[in-house]
Amino acid sequence: MANAAVSALTPDQTSQVNRIMSGELGIETRQLMELAGQAVAVWARAQLLGGDARGKRVLVLAGSGGNGGDGMVAARRLHAWGARPAIWLSHEASGLHVRGHHPVAAVAANNHAAPMAAARSAGS
């Protein structure tokens, strides 16, 4: 893996970009999630999977917010390229919502076949 610096936005900057994209440009949250997830999948395939996802096992850790939705889209894309992704959710799937959207439903609606498992507390 290359030691390239990765630019990052602060949470406030990300919120501002999202407001501009949806409010001023009319791009829906689900479209933003698709684009971000695709970018993550392209980067992961190139930087972590040697340029070829076929047959490779991938673990996606997905939280309850927008980044979790992006991760689920990335898993779906990697699966389409032949990877064998698994998604571990930080919350039960029924409790995941991203600005009025349900990322698990969005992933399922696009025929994603990766297994999903919700995180369990230490006592369960």
pLDDT for residue 109 is more than 50: no
Task: Provide the number of structural domains found in the chain.
Answer: 1
Q: Does the residue 4 lie in any domain?
A: no
pLDDT for residue 5 is more than 90: no
φ and ψ at residue 3, rounded to 5 degrees:
-95, 55
Range of the domain at 91: 13-118
Q: Does the residue 41 lie in any domain?
A: yes
Q: Does the residue 7 lie in any domain?
A: no
Instruction: Give the domain CATH number at 24.
Output: 3.40.50.10260
Percentage of the chain lying above the pLDDT 70 cut = 69
> Model confidence over 41-84: pLDDT tens digits?
999 999 999 999 999 999 988 877 777 888 888 998 999 999 99
Q: Does the residue 2 lie in any domain?
A: no
Assess contact for 87 and 116: CB atoms under 8 A. Answer: yes
pLDDT for residue 111 is more than 50: no
pLDDT for residue 17 is more than 70: yes
pLDDT for residue 98 is more than 80: no
pLDDT for residue 14 is more than 70: yes
Determine the pLDDT at residue 124: 44
Cα–Cα separations (whole angstroms), residue 73 to 24, 37, 64, 77, 122: 24, 5, 14, 6, 28
Q: Does the residue 1 lie in any domain?
A: no
